[in-house]
């Protein structure tokens, strides 16, 4: 899903769920004989697949979908509408408090891909609909076909809100459990995630997972 190593003052851009989905799709399209998921529970590097209070069940559920596709050779049938979201809780350019995180320990991008500051709505739809993302900056909509659609907007402060609209009514809606902060004490560039089909797993953290 991602790679975030404060001990090495480095992170690798994952483009929300983009790296995860592309990796699975490469294995599927390339008829890979083996598929190695690295790693199940390495929270120290942010590479875990297991459910956690940060990525919730989002990566676990996405992996189930793509692993079924990989093993059977057929994309699973989408029988219900599900919305997933991914975003960071601060900008990659946010400056930490130097008294708490000295400059030599600031995280730097270690990948060739440019850093991204976006909010992603990943929709699994059984039929076409309109996807909506509401932030403190604006409301954005995109028409999506049946199947899997990724829709992204620029990162904005506050709690992003997501919805699926079909035939003039809201069919699915949810609010991110994670607040995007304008000011930070130290860098936290881990991507967070969640979905419309799983209850939020709360935690004691900074900031806490509290949906308004």
Strand (E) positions, 6-160?
A: 10-12, 82-87, 108-109, 118-125, 129-134, 139-144, 147-154
The model's pTM is 0.93
- Give the pLDDT of residue 202: 77
Per-residue pLDDT for the chain (212 aa), expressed as one digit of tens each?
999 998 899 999 999 999 999 999 999 999 999 999 988 998 889 999 999 889 999 999 999 999 999 999 999 999 999 999 999 999 999 999 999 999 888 999 998 889 999 999 999 999 999 999 999 999 999 999 999 999 999 999 999 999 999 999 999 999 999 999 999 999 999 999 999 999 888 765 545 555 55
Element (H, E) at 25: helix 18-29
Give the burial string for 158-186 (b: 16+ CB within 10 Å, else e). Answer: bbbbbbbbbeeeebbebbbbbbbbeebee
Question: How many Å apart are CA 162 and CA 165, to the nearest integer?
Answer: 10
Q: Does domain 3-195 have CATH number 2.70.98.60?
A: no
For the chain, the domains span 3-195
Element (H, E) at 3: strand 3-5
């Amino acid at each position: 899903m991602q790679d975030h190593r404060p001990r090495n003052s480095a992170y690798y851009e994952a483009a929300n769920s983009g790296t995860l989905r592309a990796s699975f799709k490469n294995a599927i399209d390339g008829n890979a004989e083996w598929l190695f998921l690295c790693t199940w529970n390495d929270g120290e590097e942010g590479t875990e697949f297991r459910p956690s209070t940060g990525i919730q069940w989002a990566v676990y559920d996405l992996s189930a979908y793509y692993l079924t596709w990989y093993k059977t050779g057929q994309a699973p049938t989408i029988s219900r509408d599900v919305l997933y979201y991914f975003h960071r809780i601060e900008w990659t350019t946010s400056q930490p408090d130097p008294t708490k995180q000295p400059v030599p320990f600031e995280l730097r991008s270690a990948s060739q891909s440019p850093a991204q500051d976006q909010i992603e709505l990943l929709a699994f739809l059984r039929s076409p609909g309109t996807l909506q993302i509401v932030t403190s900056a604006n409301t954005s909509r995109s028409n999506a076909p049946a199947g899997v659609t990724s829709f992204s907007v620029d990162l904005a402060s506050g709690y992003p809100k997501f919805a699926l609209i079909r035939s003039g009514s809201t069919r699915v809606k949810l609010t991110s459990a994670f607040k995007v902060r304008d000011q930070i004490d130290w860098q936290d560039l881990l991507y967070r995630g969640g979905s419309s089909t799983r209850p939020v797993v709360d935690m004691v953290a900074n900031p806490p997972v509290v949906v308004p």
